Amino acid sequence: ASAFAAQFSAALTVCLFVRMGIPVSTSQALVGGVAGVGMARRASTVNRRNLLRICAAWVATPLIACAVSFLLCRLASVL
């Protein structure tokens, strides 16, 4: 039942966002589904530090990729 709840909630979330025209990651949705199942069973089973690290990486990744691509593009135009 737990695996079904995590998978179904992830799929439903992705479908809703796609219908609104918003691209989302299935991996992110599934992590949210698994975290939700963990919290529903017992909140202490969810490693909050790891969950926060994952969320921080989701925020940092596009920002860092943007900065690196900007720098590479500038470097390529100088060469």
pLDDT recorded at residue 5:
95
Please write the tens of the pLDDT for every residue from 52-79.
999 999 999 999 999 999 999 999 998 8
Closest CA to 24 of 9, 42, 44: 9
Closest CA to 35 of 1, 12, 5: 5
- Domain-wise residue ranges, the chain: 2-78
pLDDT recorded at residue 14:
97
Please write the tens of the pLDDT for every residue from 32-44.
999 999 999 887 8
User: Residues 46-52: what's their mean pLDDT?
Assistant: 90
